[in-house]
A and B are shown apart, each in its own frame.
Chain A
Amino acid sequence: MMRKKTPTLREIQWGQRETEKLDLRALLCQASFGRLFYSFFKSLVGKDVVVELKNDLSICGTLHSVDQYLNIKLTDISVTDPEKYPHMLSVKNCFIRGSVVRYVQLPADEVDTQLLQDAARKEALQQKQ
């Protein structure tokens, strides 16, 4: 009799992540503009990004999670210019308050810019009405 393989913890987590990974296209058909970029960032969880803050500090890391305020959690971080900013040398994971983010830099091939642009235009139009 074949014994069903018990999934490892890693496999369970992977499965959960896959179900949670939101299809950008599906999300962009959703409701308010207020959630557009929240949904957009949720679809980028797991990708490597560089967050530039309003105090000029740039932090590179893996996007772990995002919330409704666009607060960002990054894991495995490294500061882009460690000589100038040694302040974060002993930090591996961090939470960044949404209000202090200036830019979130992503590789171009991670984003369907045309889709995003169209969705943003559509939502902005909806918001106006």
Chain B
Amino acid sequence: MIVGTLKGFDQTINLILNESHERVFSSSQGVKQVVLGLYIVRGDNVAVIGEIDEETDSVLDLGNIRAEPLNSVAH
């Protein structure tokens, strides 16, 4: 899942994300964050856009979260 500031979008949900980083979930280690920077994402690849609540997100202990990565979308 990719976290960033939504700068823009269009009808097909192509996105422009600023200051983005990817959160990699793993069942063996804590969540890894990979810095990406300015990203353009093609709408085909977007499943959900979630608005992050800063308060709730800041108390999350990412290092302790163990989870399988999300499945890919099977049509």
Contact residues of A with B, CB < 8 Å? 53-57, 59, 71, 77, 84-97, 99-100
Contacts and interface: CB of A to CB of B under 8 A. Distances in A.
Given A86-B65, A91-B50, A54 B60 contact: no
B28 interface: no
A95 B71 contact: no
Contacts, number: 71
A97 B60 contact: no
Nearest to B72: A55
Interface of B: 1, 13, 23, 25, 43-44, 46-53, 56-57, 60, 65, 67-68, 70-75
B70 A85 contact: yes
A86 B53 contact: no
B53 A87 contact: no
A100 B47 CA distance: 6
Contacts of A77: 50
